[in-house]
C-alpha cells in the first residue's frame, strides 16, 4: 500500500510530508488518501494541542527522575500503556517521549525529565516505557538525540564528546530503545555534536542510528531545531517541526532540482513518514483529532502507587512511619505544603485533572483534621506568584488595540502561552490582547507585581503603569529564552480594597534564531519576611511533629535554563534550621528535580525525597509518611555533598557550562557514581541509595557458570524479608574490570532486580550479564572490547553498600563492532 501511494506522489507531495502542517500536526495528501496525524507532549502526561499552561485537562503522572527512582520497569510499562490512552484522548498518534539524556551536572534544568545518571538503568526504563506506549498503537519518540545535558545556549552550543564516551554513556539508552523496543520515532536535539547540528549529523542519524542499529522509523527535529534543507535530509532528518515549512517545502524541492538532494533521498524519507502513519493505524481509520479530558480511576491509582514507589527515604532515625493515632498536634510547614508541586516546567507541563497538595493529603489521611496546623514560613518562587481569578481577555485583530475586540473570553489564570489563538481571524504576528482583572488584597502593605513576556507588554494598576515589559525589552531566561527576565514593580495596597489591573500585550518581531513564541505571565504577591518565619517556628514549637515541605518547583526545574547552584532557593535552609531547633521531631520532605546540598541534614530526624510525583502528590506523601505503603524509591542519581564534588563542575568553564559556543565533556565516562567511586569522592547519598521500613537478609550468590562464555552468566540471590512489614529490596550487579589500555570506572552497573516481599517471604533476584557487559569501547578498533582476564562481579544494595564480590574469569577476548 505504501509503495503504491509513493508511486503516485509527485515530488512536491513527497516533500510536503517532510514538514509539519502546524505546531502539532503533519501534512495530509488528500488526493491520495494520506491523512494528517497529531503529535503531543509529553513524558508525564498527554497535553494535546493546547497551551503549555492551559487547555484540555489530562492525567499528570510522575516526572522521569521519580520513575527512575522507582527502578521498576514493570510499573513504568503500565504507565506507558496509560499514557497511550491519554494520547488517544487528545486525538494524538505520536507521544513526544521519553527523554533519556543523562544526569551529568546536577544543574540541568531538565534533569527532572531524565531518568538517571546511569545509561543501563535509563535504557531499561525507556524500553519499558516505549513498550507500554507502542503496545497501544501510539508511537513513542525517544529524545533528545544526543548530547542535550544542559539548557545553556542549547539551540547553538556544541556538545564536544569523544566517541568512547558517547558509546558507553550517552548513546546506549537510544540504542536499547531501537534494538529492543522498536521505537517508532527519534527526536534530534537542538545542540551541535562536535561542531555539527545533530539535525544535520550524518554520522549520528544515518551511520549509527540507521546503519548500525537498524532503525527504520522517522527522525524529527526538536521544535525549530532544524536549520537547512539539503543538509538535514541528506543527514537523515525526515520531519521538520513545527510547520508550516521553513527550510523544507519549496526550498527542498529546489534543492532536488539543483542536484543537492537525490530524489531517492526524499522518497525514502517520505516512505518512512507513510510507514509511521501505517504503524499508528492512520490508514485503517481516519484519525479523530478531537481532544477530551479522560479521568480514569485506574490512572489515579497508578499515579498514586508510582508516587510512593519513587519516594526515596534518605534519612530516618526511627521517627517514620508516623503513627496516625498517637499524634495530637502536627505542624505542616513550608512553601510546598499547601501548594501542589506536581510537575516540572517547560514543554512537559500539562493541565492536570486535579492536584492534591501535601496539606490536603495529610488532612485526608487523618480522622482528626483539627490536629493539623499550617504555616508557610517563606517563599522559594523564582517568579512572582501567578495571578489567579477571573480575567477577561479582549483580542484585537491588529496591533494597537484598535476598534472593537474580535474575540472575548474569560480565564482564571494570568499566564498565556499561545500555540493557537482563539479565533482563526487572528494572526500570531499581528494581533493585540488586553487582559482585565480585579485584585483585592487580604493584607495591607507593599505588594509586588511581576511580569515576563515573549512579546511586548505593560501592566497597569488602577491605570498607573506598574510593570514595563516594552521599553528596553531584552531577551532573558523565560519561555525557552524567548521572553525577558521578569520585570517587577512594588505598590502599597490596602486590604479589602478593589484594584483594577490591566495587562496589554502585543507580539514582537521574529527572534533572530527563528523561534517566535507569543506568551505572557503576570502575578502579584505580598513578600514574606522575618515575621513569617517566626510564625512557622511557633507553629512547629507547639506540635508533636513538624513536617517541613521544601524544595523547588517548575519555575526552577524547567526547560530553558539551568539551576544557579545546588542549594535550596530563598530562605528555606534558614527555615529548616529554625524549625528543627524549635521541634526535635522535624521531618523534611523534599521536592526537587535532582540533588541538593543539605547543610542542615544532621539537625532533622528524617528526610524524604518525593520529586514531582504527579497529581496524587499529597496522597502519595501521606501514604508514605503514615506507613500505609513503604517508600519504594532508590536514588537514580548520586547526591554529592557539594556541587564542586560533581564530575562536570571542575572550575573549567569549557567543561561546564561551556565557553565560546562549546561545552567539552571533559570528565569522559566518569559521570555520577563512576566519578565518585573511581576518584574516591564520598557522596552525601550514593547512587541506588534508599531506606525502607523493614529489613532483609541476602543469601550467598549462585552463578550459572564459573567463567564467562558467549551465553553469559546468571547470578541468583535469595532475599528474605525478616521484618514485620511488607517492603521492597533492590539488588544491583556491577562489573569491575581488569586493567585495560584505557582507564575504566571502578565499577559499572550491568543488571538489577527489585523485589517486593511480604514479611517472612523469600524471593530470588535473577541477574544476567553477557560478554558485552565486560567491555569498554575501543575507539581505535571501533568496537566494544573486553580483554581475557579476571573480572569481578559486585553485588550491592547501592553503589557504596557492597554485599558480595565474586571473581569471574573470562578466558576469551571479546571484540564486537557496533553494527551487529
Residue 518 to residue 538: CA distance in whole angstroms: 45
744 Cβ contact partners less than 8 Å away, ≥ 6 residues apart: 669, 737, 776
**Of 6, 129, 7, 121, residue with least CA distance to 63:** 129
Are the CB atoms for 503 and 524 separated by under 8 Å?
no
In a domain, 514, yes or no: yes
Q: Tell me how far the alpha carbon of residue 421 is from its chain's centroid.
A: 27
Are the CB atoms for 331 and 535 separated by under 8 Å?
no
How far lies 659's CA from each of 57, 405, 518, 551, 652, in Å? Answer: 41, 48, 30, 30, 9
Residue 323 to residue 625: CA distance in whole angstroms: 9
In a domain, 650, yes or no: no
| 546 and 480 part of one domain | no
In a domain, 130, yes or no: no
Residue 326 to residue 368: CA distance in whole angstroms: 11
Measured over the CA atoms of residue 800, residue 646, residue 62 and residue 343, the dihedral's sign is: positive
Residue 519 to residue 556: CA distance in whole angstroms: 18
CATH (domain of 469): 2.60.120.260
Adjacency order of strands within the sheet including 783-786: 776-778, 783-786, 814-816
* Alpha carbon distance, N-terminus to C-terminus of the chain: 30
Neighbouring C-alpha atoms within 13 Å toward the C-beta of 178: 25
* 468 catalytic residue (yes or no): no
Domain boundary among 614, 632, 650: 632
**Of 207, 210, 250, residue with least CA distance to 19:** 250
| 706 and 747 part of one domain | yes
**Of 469, 338, 450, residue with least CA distance to 385:** 450
| 462 and 344 part of one domain | no
| 375 and 398 part of one domain | no
Residue 126 to residue 133: CA distance in whole angstroms: 11
| 518 and 394 part of one domain | yes
Residue 123 to residue 180: CA distance in whole angstroms: 10
| 468 and 550 part of one domain | no
Helix H, strand E, coil C: the string for 195-223 is CEEHHHCHHHHHHHHHHHCCCCCEEECCC
Domain boundary among 584, 606, 632: 632
Are the CB atoms for 14 and 255 separated by under 8 Å?
no
Give 763: exposed, middle or buried? Use CB within 10 Å, 0-12, 13-18, 19+. Answer: buried
Residue 568 to residue 585: CA distance in whole angstroms: 21
Are the CB atoms for 519 and 480 separated by under 8 Å?
no
Residue 119 to residue 126: CA distance in whole angstroms: 10
pLDDT at position 639: 98
Q: State the DSSP code for 707.
A: S
**Of 389, 522, 519, 380, residue with least CA distance to 447:** 522
Q: Which three cell numbers stand for residue 135?
A: 503496545
pLDDT at position 511: 55
Residue 470 to residue 399: CA distance in whole angstroms: 14
Are the CB atoms for 99 and 153 separated by under 8 Å?
no
Are the CB atoms for 608 and 620 separated by under 8 Å?
no
pLDDT at position 662: 98
- Report cis status (omega within 30 of 0) of the bond before 455: no
pLDDT at position 513: 54
pLDDT at position 514: 59
Residue 84 to residue 188: CA distance in whole angstroms: 22
Per DSSP (E only), the strands in 405-540 are 407-413, 415-417, 432-439, 445-454, 456-461, 464-469, 487-493, 499-506, 519-525
- Report cis status (omega within 30 of 0) of the bond before 81: no
Are the CB atoms for 359 and 338 separated by under 8 Å?
yes
Residue 46 to residue 74: CA distance in whole angstroms: 20
* Helical (H) or strand (E) element with 82: helix 73-89
**Of 566, 564, 568, 570, residue with least CA distance to 588:** 568
Residue 707 to residue 722: CA distance in whole angstroms: 33
| 720 and 593 part of one domain | no
In a domain, 367, yes or no: yes
pLDDT block averages, 10 residues each, the chain of length 820: 95 98 96 97 90 86 98 98 97 98 97 98 98 98 98 96 98 98 98 98 98 98 96 98 96 98 98 98 92 97 98 98 90 98 93 97 88 96 95 96 95 91 91 97 96 97 97 91 94 97 88 74 96 98 97 96 97 98 98 98 98 98 97 98 97 97 98 98 98 98 96 98 97 92 95 98 98 96 95 98 97 90
| Domain boundaries, position 556 | 305-382+529-563+570-632
CATH (domain of 781): 2.60.40.10
Q: Which three cell numbers stand for residue 500?
A: 483594577
| 715 and 757 part of one domain | yes
Q: Which three cell numbers stand for residue 140?
A: 513513542
Helix H, strand E, coil C: the string for 278-311 is HHCCCCCCCCCCCCCCCCCHHHHHHHHHHHHHCC
| 533 and 590 part of one domain | yes
CATH (domain of 609): 3.40.50.1700
Neighbouring C-alpha atoms within 13 Å toward the C-beta of 667: 26
Neighbouring C-alpha atoms within 13 Å toward the C-beta of 274: 22
Instruction: Count up the domains in the chain and report the number.
Output: 3
- Strand-pair category, 39-40 with 432-439: unpaired
SS3 795: strand
Q: How many residues does the chain have?
A: 820
In a domain, 737, yes or no: yes
Are the CB atoms for 690 and 320 separated by under 8 Å?
no
SS3 356: coil
In a domain, 623, yes or no: yes
| 416 and 521 part of one domain | yes
Backbone φ, ψ for residue 322 (5° rounding):
-75, 145
Residue 710 to residue 721: CA distance in whole angstroms: 35
Residue 793 to residue 807: CA distance in whole angstroms: 6
In a domain, 533, yes or no: yes
Neighbouring C-alpha atoms within 13 Å toward the C-beta of 763: 18
Domain boundary among 525, 544, 579: 525
| 468 and 551 part of one domain | no
Are the CB atoms for 731 and 634 separated by under 8 Å?
no
In a domain, 205, yes or no: no
pLDDT at position 510: 56
| 393 and 503 part of one domain | yes
CB atoms within 10 A of CB 518: 22
Bridge partners of 438, per DSSP, are: 500
Catalytic option among 222, 238, 247, 299? 222
- Strand-pair category, 312-316 with 606-609: antiparallel
Residue 418 to residue 23: CA distance in whole angstroms: 11
pLDDT at position 512: 55
Adjacency order of strands within the sheet including 445-454: 415-417, 519-525, 445-454, 487-493
Residue 739 to residue 809: CA distance in whole angstroms: 14
How far lies 54's CA from each of 75, 698, 784, in Å? Answer: 28, 50, 48
The alpha-helical segments, DSSP class H, found in 442-590 are 530-541, 572-582
Amino acid at each position: 500500500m505504501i509503495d503504491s501511494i509513493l508511486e503516485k506522489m509527485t515530488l512536491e507531495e513527497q516533500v510536503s510530508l517532510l514538514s509539519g502542517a502546524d505546531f502539532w500536526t503533519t501534512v495530509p495528501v488528500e488526493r491520495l488518501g494520506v491523512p494528517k496525524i497529531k503529535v503531543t507532549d509529553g513524558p508525564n502526561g498527554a497535553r494535546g494541542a493546547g497551551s503549555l499552561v492551559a487547555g484540555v485537562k489530562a492525567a499528570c503522572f510522575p516526572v522521569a527522575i521519580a520513575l527512575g527512582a522507582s527502578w521498576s520497569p514493570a510499573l513504568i510499562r503500565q504507565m506507558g500503556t496509560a499514557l497511550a490512552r491519554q494520547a488517544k484522548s487528545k486525538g494524538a498518534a505520536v507521544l513526544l517521549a521519553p527523554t533519556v539524556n543523562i544526569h551529568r551536572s546536577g544543574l540541568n534544568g531538565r534533569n527532572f525529565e531524565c531518568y538517571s545518571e546511569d545509561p543501563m538503568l535509563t535504557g531499561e526504563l525507556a524500553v519499558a516505557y516505549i513498550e507500554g506506549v507502542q503496545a497501544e498503537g501510539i508511537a513513542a519518540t525517544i529524545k533528545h538525540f544526543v548530547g542535550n545535558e544542559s539548557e545553556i545556549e542549547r539551540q547553538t552550543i556544541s556538545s564536544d564528546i569523544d566517541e568512547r564516551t558517547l558509546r558507553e554513556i550517552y548513546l546506549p539508552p537510544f540504542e536499547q530503545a531501537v534494538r529492543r523496543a522498536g521505537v517508532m520515532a527519534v527526536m534530534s536535539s537542538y545542540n551541535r555534536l562536535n561542531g555539527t547540528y545533530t539535525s544535520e549529523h550524518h554520522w549520528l542519524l544515518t551511520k549509527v542510528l540507521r546503519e548500525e542499529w537498524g532503525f527504520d522509523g522517522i527522525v524529527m527535529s526538536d521544535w525549530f531545531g532544524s536549520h537547512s534543507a539539503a543538509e538535514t535530509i541528506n543527514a537523515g532528518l525526515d520531519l521538520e517541526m513545527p510547520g508550516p515549512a521553513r527550510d523544507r517545502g519549496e526550498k527542498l524541492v529546489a534543492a532536488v532540482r539543483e542536484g543537492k538532494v537525490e530524489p531517492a533521498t526524499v522518497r525514502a524519507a517520505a516512505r518512512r513518514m507513510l510507514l509511521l502513519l501505517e504503524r499508528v493505524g492512520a490508514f485503517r481509520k481516519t484519525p479523530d483529532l478531537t481532544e477530551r479530558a479522560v479521568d480514569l480511576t485506574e490512572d489515579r491509582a497508578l499515579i498514586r502507587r508510582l508516587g510512593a514507589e519513587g519516594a526515596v527515604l534518605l534519612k530516618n532515625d526511627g521517627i517514620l512511619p508516623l503513627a496516625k493515632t498517637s499524634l495530637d498536634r502536627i505542624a505542616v510547614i513550608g512553601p510546598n505544603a499547601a501548594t501542589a508541586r506536581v510537575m516540572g516546567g517547560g514543554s512537559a507541563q500539562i493541565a492536570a485533572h486535579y492536584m492534591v497538595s501535601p496539606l490536603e493529603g495529610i488532612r485526608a489521611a487523618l480522622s482528626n483534621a483539627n490536629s493539623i496546623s499550617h504555616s508557610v514560613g517563606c517563599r522559594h518562587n523564582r517568579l512572582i506568584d501567578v495571578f489567579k481569578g477571573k480575567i477577561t481577555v479582549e483580542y484585537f485583530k491588529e496591533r494597537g488595540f484598535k476598534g472593537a475586540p474580535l474575540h472575548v473570553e474569560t480565564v482564571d489564570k494570568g499566564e498565556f502561552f499561545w500555540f493557537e489563538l482563539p479565533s482563526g481571524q487572528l494572526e500570531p504576528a499581528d494581533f493585540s490582547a488586553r487582559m482585565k482583572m480585579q485584585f483585592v488584597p487580604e493584607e495591607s502593605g507593599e505588594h509586588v507585581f511581576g511580569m515576563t513576556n515573549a512579546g511586548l507588554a505593560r501592566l497597569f494598576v488602577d491605570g498607573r503603569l506598574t510593570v514595563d515589559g516594552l521599553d528596553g525589552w531584552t531577551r532573558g531566561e523565560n519561555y525557552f529564552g524567548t521572553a525577558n527576565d521578569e520585570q517587577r514593580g512594588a505598590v502599597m495596597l490596602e486590604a479589602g480594597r478593589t484594584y483594577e489591573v490591566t495587562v496589554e500585550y502585543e507580539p514582537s518581531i521574529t527572534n533572530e534564531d527563528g523561534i517566535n513564541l507569543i506568551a505572557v505571565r503576570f502575578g502579584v504577591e505580598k513578600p514574606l519576611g522575618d515575621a513569617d518565619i517566626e510564625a512557622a517556628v511557633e507553629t512547629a514549637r507547639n506540635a508533636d511533629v513538624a513536617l517541613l515541605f521544601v524544595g523547588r518547583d517548575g519555575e526552577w526545574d524547567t526547560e530553558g535554563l539551568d539551576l544557579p547552584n545546588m542549594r535550596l532557593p530563598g530562605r528555606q535552609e534558614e527555615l529548616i534550621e529554625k524549625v528543627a531547633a524549635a521541634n526535635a521531631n522535624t521531618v523534611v520532605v523534599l521536592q526537587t528535580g535532582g540533588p541538593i546540598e543539605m547543610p542542615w541534614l544532621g539537625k532533622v530526624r528524617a528526610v524524604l525525597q518525593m520529586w514531582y510525583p504527579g497529581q496524587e502528590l499529597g496522597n502519595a506523601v501521606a501514604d508514605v509518611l503514615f506507613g500505609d505503603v513503604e517508600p519504594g524509591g532508590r536514588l537514580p542519581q548520586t547526591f554529592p555533598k557539594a556541587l564542586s564534588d560533581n564530575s562536570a563542575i571542575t572550575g573549567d568553564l569549557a567543561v561546564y557550562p561551556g565557553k565560546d559556543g562549546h561545552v567539552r565533556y571533559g570528565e569522559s565516562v566518569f559521570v555520577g557514581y563512576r566519578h565518585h567511586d573511581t576518584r574516591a569522592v564520598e557522596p552525601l547519598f550514593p547512587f541506588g541509595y534508599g531506606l525502607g521500613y523493614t529489613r532483609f537478609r541476602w543469601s550467598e550468590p549462585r552463578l550459572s557458570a564459573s567463567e564467562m562464555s558467549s551465553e553469559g552468566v546468571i547470578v541468583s540471590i535469595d532475599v528474605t524479608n525478616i521484618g514485620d512489614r511488607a517492603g521492597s529490596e533492590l539488588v544491583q550487579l556491577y562489573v569491575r574490570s581488569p586493567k585495560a589500555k584505557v582507564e575504566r570506572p571502578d565499577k559499572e552497573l550491568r543488571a538489577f532486580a527489585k523485589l517486593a516481599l511480604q514479611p517472612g517471604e523469600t524471593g530470588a533476584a535473577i541477574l544476567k550479564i553477557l560478554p558485552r557487559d565486560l567491555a569498554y569501547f575501543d575507539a581505535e578498533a571501533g568496537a566494544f572490547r573486553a580483554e581475557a582476564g579476571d573480572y569481578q562481579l559486585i553485588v550491592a544494595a547501592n553503589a557504596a553498600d557492597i554485599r558480595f564480590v565474586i571473581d569471574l574469569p573470562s578466558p576469551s577476548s571479546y571484540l564486537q563492532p557496533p553494527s551487529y
